[in-house]
Structure 1
Amino acid sequence: MRLWFLFGALVLAEIAYPLVHGRTRAVLVVATVVAGYLLSVTHAYVTRGARTAAALVVVTTGGGLAIEAAGRTTGFPFGDYDYTGALGPRLLGVPLVVPLAWTWMAWPAWLAAGRLVRRTLPRIGLAGVGLAAWDLFLDPQMVSERYWLWSDPATALPGVPGVPVSNYLGWLVVAIAMTALLRVAAGPDPDGPRADAPMYALYLWTYASSILAHAVFLGLPASAAWGALGMGLVAVPLAVRLWRR
């Protein structure tokens, strides 16, 4: 029940986001990420135990902080970018909410991939794609709100100025590395049924709501299309699989 409560809080925050402006939007971004983070970590603990939850935090929260701190300092692997200060307190120059976002979506992407494929290497690759494709929605939205900016986004996807293609490629590399480390640190999934419905719902809600928000409410039709294609590589087969079952 607590998992669905957190999921409901996240949904409400995301519904409210396009209805407000300015500082209130930044507050809702933080609230959404915190709710998603608590949802994913709590689910990992409840369904897989302390080892898996700890591995999730170390690999994705700790790893997310490390790669973001290195990225903004060196420009690798996401390009030359920096945060504007709108998202609150920082650690190593990175808003604290940013590494939490890696964890929020890494766990449902990992479980969604596990529902679709069983072998380890294909699952790691698919989970990496499932996580990285989320950024086709995330970065255009955050750049449009000026939460972070690139200094030279010349080579961008058609219709999505402000975000270099190198950023998406960097996300894919990091996402695959994260899911591979998560598999090693957390170990294989235990046998038997697992209560993973909240994570499937989280992944599919993020997909569908992002398309709607970008296309209708946020004035970002191109990122709605790119995100629909990219994240749909995992979300659409997942929805079909769940429907058939």
Structure 2
Amino acid sequence: MDHRLPWAGLGVLVLAQICYPLTAGATRAGLTVATVVLGYLISVSHALLTRGPRAAAALVAVATGGGFAIEALGVATSFPFGSYDYSGELGPKLAGVPLIIPLAWTWMAWPAWLTAARLTPPGVRRVALAAVGLAAWDLFLDPQMVAEGYWRWQDAAPALPGLPGVPVSNYLGWLLFAVLLMAALRPLAGPVIDYADSRDAPMYALYLWTYLSSVLAHAVFLGLPASAVWGAAGMAVAAVPLALALGRERRERRPRRPVDATA
């Protein structure tokens, strides 16, 4: 399989997300579904190409299977996200959960894990950073999807300032499940690749693109300035150190100009 495949998929994903603010109604909903499916395929294919079938299968089992299980539990019992339900705009459902929802968990779980693996040593710190890196994405995602009418809460209080419609319990539920997800993925995700190896670069780019494009979209195109601020602060915990680390490594790899001894 071609290791350029994740880069090609990322290019198509970027184009799809650029088109998102230009659409509305059923077209926007369809583009949302297509974007999630594409993001899912990018992450799973990258896991397969760089870590092998065992890691890719583990990602699907833990993130996709676990994501569906926690969402079905949430719809049925209101735990851990609060009392909510999905509209019918995101395609077919199983147990009240649109089938694309667990794909979204998988899409961002993999780059969040690799970001944490790049920045922290093995152990609790890595699991914690990966969990925060994934859960913070929801500070963008839920306000946007609620504004679109794709799902809603029966009781959205208490909510974060500027983010009505999404209870704080939802973000705490995301964090709880993200910790469990990353703890389960840790022994199954395959080896950490040395930073000089560029095979993980598409996932770093995906994580940073998601961060920067979400801030821009919410602040400028979607009319959601509060979620732009909350999301920018939350995802910065992982995104900013990642950007700094990649910049530093790029400078270290840059050839040094020879010193002229006769000058």
> Structure 1 length as normaliser, TM-score?
0.97
8 Å CA contact 1:153, 1:164 repeated in 2: yes
Identity score, percent: 68
Task: Please give the residue correspondences for 1:1-245 in structure 2 after superposition, counting only pairs within 5 Å.
Answer: 1-189=4-192, 193=197, 195-245=199-249
Secondary structure of the equivalent of 1:82? Answer: strand
8 Å CA contact 2:51, 2:190 repeated in 1: no
1:4 Cα offset (Å):
1.1
8 Å CA contact 1:48, 1:189 repeated in 2: no
8 Å CA contact 1:48, 1:190 repeated in 2: no
Question: For the residues of structure 2 that align with 1:205 and 1:190, how far apart are their CA atoms?
Answer: 21
8 Å CA contact 2:51, 2:191 repeated in 1: no
Question: For the residues of structure 2 that align with 1:66 and 1:194, how far apart are their CA atoms?
Answer: 34
1:9 Cα offset (Å):
1.1
Question: For the residues of structure 2 that align with 1:171 and 1:32, how far apart are their CA atoms?
Answer: 21
Question: For the residues of structure 2 that align with 1:59 and 1:187, how far apart are their CA atoms?
Answer: 14
Structure 1: state its 5+ residue gaps: none
Secondary structure of the equivalent of 1:195? Answer: helix
Secondary structure of the equivalent of 2:223? Answer: coil
1:191 Cα offset (Å):
6.7
Q: For residues 147-191 of structure 1, what are the alpha-carbon distances to aligned partners after superposition, in whole Å with 9 as ceiling and x for unaligned?
A: 000000020000010000010001001001100000133354367
Amino acid at match of 1:171: W
Q: How many residues are paired up?
A: 245
Cα distance change, pair 32–98 in 1 and its aligned pair in 2 (3 A):
same
1:119 Cα offset (Å):
2.4
Question: For the residues of structure 2 that align with 1:242 and 1:184, how far apart are their CA atoms?
Answer: 25
1:93 Cα offset (Å):
1.3
Question: For the residues of structure 2 that align with 1:58 and 1:194, how far apart are their CA atoms?
Answer: 26
Question: For the residues of structure 2 that align with 1:76 and 1:179, how far apart are their CA atoms?
Answer: 19
1:92 Cα offset (Å):
1.6
Amino acid at match of 2:162: G
Secondary structure of the equivalent of 1:156? Answer: coil
Secondary structure of the equivalent of 1:162? Answer: coil
Cα distance change, pair 187–4 in 1 and its aligned pair in 2 (3 A):
closer
Quick check: which has more Rg, 1 or 2?
2
Q: For residues 102-158 of structure 1, what are the alpha-carbon distances to aligned partners after superposition, in whole Å with 9 as ceiling and x for unaligned?
A: 000000000001111012211000000000000000000000000000000020000
Structure 2: state its 5+ residue gaps: 250-263
Amino acid at match of 2:157: A
